[in-house]
Amino acid sequence: MSVTATPEAHGALELDPQRLPADELKRLLAQMITVRHLDTSAIAWQRQGIIPGYAPMQGQEAAQVGSIAALDMSRDFVFPTYREMGAAYAAGVDMAEYMATHKATWNGGLHDPVKHRFTPIQTVIAGSALHAVGWAHGQRLDAIREGREQTDLPASLIYLGDGASSQGDIHEAMNFAGVFKTPTVFFVQNNGWAISVPTERQVAGGSVAARGAGYGLPSVAVDGNDVEAVVRAVRAAVAHARSGAGAVVVEAFTYRRGPHSTSDDPGRYRTLEDERRDAGPDPIERLVERLVADGELTEAGVEEFRAEAAAFEERTREAVAAQGPRPGAEMFEYVYQETTPVLQQQAAQWREESDHA
C-alpha cells in the first residue's frame, strides 16, 4: 500500500497551487509535535492506570492538524470519531476535557461542543456521518427559509476511516449529501487498517475517493503525510461545499503507526518490517526537514517546540489524573430534553438504593 499519493482532484474541484507561508507551516508543525507527544503519553497513561483505554493516532498528525487548519472554526462544525485527538487539539478543545471519555468520566468528552464547534467523540463506526450531513442540510434549509443565497454556507467536516467507509451509514450519508447538495466534507483517513484488516481486503478498488462519483460528489486523493497538501485539498473541498455546489470526498492516505487501541496487539497481524515498508515518511520529520532545509527553522527551534509540548503534556496529565467521578444522578438528567415517568421512576429507585448503600 502506498501512502504517498500525489494530490489529485476528480470532478469539479480545483486545488490552489499556492504554497503555505512559512509561519503557517511552523504553527502547524508545533501543533503536530504537541499532538505526537500527547498521543504517545496517553498510551503511557493507560499503562499507568490513569485512563482505562485510548485509541492512538501516531502517523495521522498531518491529516488531522491540516484538515482543521482549512476550516473556519467560528462557523464550521467538526464531527469526529474516537481517534481525533489531534483534530480536537487543533480545534482548540481543552485536552483534559477531551480525555474525559478515555478516563471514563463522561461519554463523548466534557468540552462544550457548541463553543468549540466539535461534537462529542463518536464511537459508533460511521454513525456521525449522518449527523454531519443532517447538520449541513440544516444550514441549507436555514438559508432557504431566510431568503439568503446559498453561496457562503457553513460546512461540516466528518472524519471517518477506511474501515468505516464499508458501513451502510456512509452510503446513506453520501447519497443524501449528493441528492441535496449539503455543504459537507467527508474526510477519509485511510490509515491502511480496519483494526486488523488491511485496506485492500475491505475496500473494493482500493480507494474510497473513487466512490464519490457514484453519488455525484467530486473527490480528492491526497498524501495524508504532507500537511501542506492536506490543507490545500481540504480548503478546496470546503470552498466547493460552501458555494452551494455540494459535498466533497477527501481521502488522505496515511498510516496508523501504532495499535488500533491500547487493547490491540498489531504484532498479530503485521510485522515491524511491514510497518517500515508501508508507513511512508513520518509527517513530522518530513516537515522539520523541509523547514530546516529552507532556512525557516533551526534545530533549536524544533527543540523549543518539543519542550513546549512536554510541558503541555504534563499539565494535561495532571488535569486528567485529577478528574473524579461525576455525580451518579447525571445518568438520568441528560437522556431526554424532557424527562419521562419511567426515567423519573428509575432515578427515584437509584437514589433510594444509593442512599441506602
Query: CA 263, 121, 323 angle in degrees (round to 5)?
Result: 75
Whether the per-residue pLDDT at 12 is higher than 80: the answer is no
Q: What is the pLDDT of residue 356?
A: 56
Quote the mean pLDDT of the chain. Answer: 92
Largest distance between two CA atoms of the chain: 69
What is the C-alpha to C-alpha distance for residues 255 and 283, in angstroms, rounded to an integer?
Answer: 10
Enter the CATH code of domain 8-326. Answer: 3.40.50.970
Q: What is the pLDDT of residue 6?
A: 59
Q: How confident is the model at residue 357 (pLDDT cuts 50, 70, 90)?
A: very low
Phi-psi region at 279: left, alpha or beta (left = phi > 0; alpha = psi -120 to 50): alpha
Kind plus residue range of the DSSP H or E element containing 113 = helix 113-116
Q: Quick: pLDDT tens for 320-348.
A: 999 988 888 888 888 898 999 999 999 99
Of 235, 189, 208, the C-alpha closest to 58 is 189
Query: CA 279, 285, 287 angle in degrees (round to 5)?
Result: 110
**Domain locations along the chain:** 8-326, 328-357
- The predicted model scores a pTM of 0.92
Q: Quick: pLDDT tens for 176-217.
A: 999 999 999 999 999 988 999 988 898 887 789 999 999 999
Q: Quick: pLDDT tens for 137-161.
A: 999 999 999 999 999 999 999 999 9
Grid cell listed for 335: 437522556
